[in-house]
């Protein structure tokens, strides 16, 4: 009886792992889309609102769902609070802390880190150029993510189950 229970547990664990991976793949394009929307919002804040960076980031963070929003909020708070570190350092740190909560990969991380180098350090036309560039690159990443998702999502789901079954049989 215990053996059966153990087998069931293992099977459950592996299927859940499979579903989690599948979920990650499913969420990735969505989160990149959110990232793009929030950068566009930041762009409007900068070009029309001329709002300083900390407030602009805060506004963007509010209008963005949690995992990605946390990145902006984290940066905004750090910017507002401490006065002796430059935007890049704070931006890199925010990315570093928040990235594991999101399901996005290295590609987007580099793009956003690149954006951090010039954020708030030049006039609005230059800012817009950088932001537009970032958005374009993210667009490319999103298409890639979409494709990955189609392929890997179902794979991971079934793979999880099979792995579980295999292990159960092996140990039986």
Partner 1 sequence: MNVDVNAIFQIAGIGIIIAMIHTVLKQMGKEDMAHWVTVIGFVVVLFMVVNLLDSLFKEIKTIFLFQ
Partner 2 sequence: MHSLLQLFSVPLRQILSTLSSEIQRQVQEIRVRERRPLEVGWGVHYSFVSAAGGLCDNPVQAYVPSREDCSILLENLTQHSLYSFEEELRRGYITIDGGHRVGLAGRTVLEQGKVKLLKDVASFNIRIAREHQGTGNKVLPYLMDDLSRSVHHTLVVSPPQQGKTTLIRDLARLISSGPAVPGAERLERGYKVGIVDERSEVAACVRGIPRFNLGPRTDVLDACPKAEGMMMMIRSMSPEVLIVDEVGRPEDAAAIREALHAGIRVIATAHGSDMDDLRKRPVLQDLIEENVFSRIVVLHGRLGAGTLEGVYNARGERLSPALGSREAAAPHLHGAGESVSLRKRPGGFTAGSAPLDWTGNAAFGRSKAEGESERC
Task: Tell me the three state secondary structure of residue 147.
Answer: helix
Under rule CB under 8 A, residue 155 binds partner 1? yes
Segment interacting with partner 1 (CB under 8 A) among 71-79, 111-119, 136-144, 161-169: 161-169
Instruction: Enter the tokens of residue 34.
Output: 């959110």
Residue 52 binding partner per list partner 1, partner 2, none, with a CB distance cut-off of 5 to 8 Å that depends on partner kind? partner 2
Q: State the residue for tokens 């708070």.
A: 77
Under rule CB under 8 A, residue 50 binds partner 2? yes
Closer to partner 2 at the Cβ: 116 or 160? Answer: 116
Instruction: Enter the tokens of residue 46.
Output: 């900068």
Distance CA 69, CA 64 (A): 5
Segment interacting with partner 1 (CB under 8 A) among 43-51, 98-106, 113-121, 150-158: 150-158
Residues 6+ positions from 56 with CB-CB distance below 8 Å:
42, 45, 46, 49
Instruction: Enter the tokens of residue 30.
Output: 């969505």
Distance CA 98, CA 90 (A): 12
Among 21, 102, 103, 127, interactor with partner 2 by CB under 8 A: 127
Among 51, 92, 97, 146, interactor with partner 2 by CB under 8 A: 51
CB 163, min distance to partner 1, A = 8
Closer to partner 1 at the Cβ: 133 or 163? Answer: 163
Rg (CA), the chain: 21
Helix H or strand E segment including 91: helix 87-98
Instruction: Enter the tokens of residue 151.
Output: 């392929």
Q: Provide the binding-site residues for partner 2, judged by CB under 8 A.
A: 46, 50-54, 56, 79, 83-87, 120-124, 127
Q: Provide the binding-site residues for partner 1, judged by CB under 8 A.
A: 151-152, 155, 158-159, 162-163, 165-166, 169-170, 172
């Amino acid at each position: 009886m215990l053996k059966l229970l153990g087998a069931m547990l293992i099977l459950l664990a592996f299927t859940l792992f499979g579903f989690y991976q599948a979920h990650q793949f499913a969420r990735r394009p969505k989160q990149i889309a959110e990232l793009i929307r929030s950068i566009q919002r930041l762009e409007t804040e900068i070009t029309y609102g001329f709002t300083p960076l900390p407030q602009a980031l805060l506004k963007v963070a509010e209008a963005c769902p949690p995992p990605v929003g946390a990145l902006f909020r984290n940066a905004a708070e750090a910017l507002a609070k401490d006065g002796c570190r430059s935007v890049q350092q704070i931006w890199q740190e925010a990315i570093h802390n928040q990235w594991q909560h999101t399901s996005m990969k290295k590609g987007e991380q580099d793009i956003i880190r690149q954006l951090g180098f010039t954020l708030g350090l030049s006039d609005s036309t230059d800012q817009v150029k950088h932001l537009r560039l970032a958005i374009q690159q993210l667009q490319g990443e999103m298409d890639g993510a979409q494709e990955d998702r189609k392929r890997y999502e179902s794979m991971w789901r079934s793979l999880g189950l099979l792995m579980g079954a295999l292990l159960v049989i092996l140990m039986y």
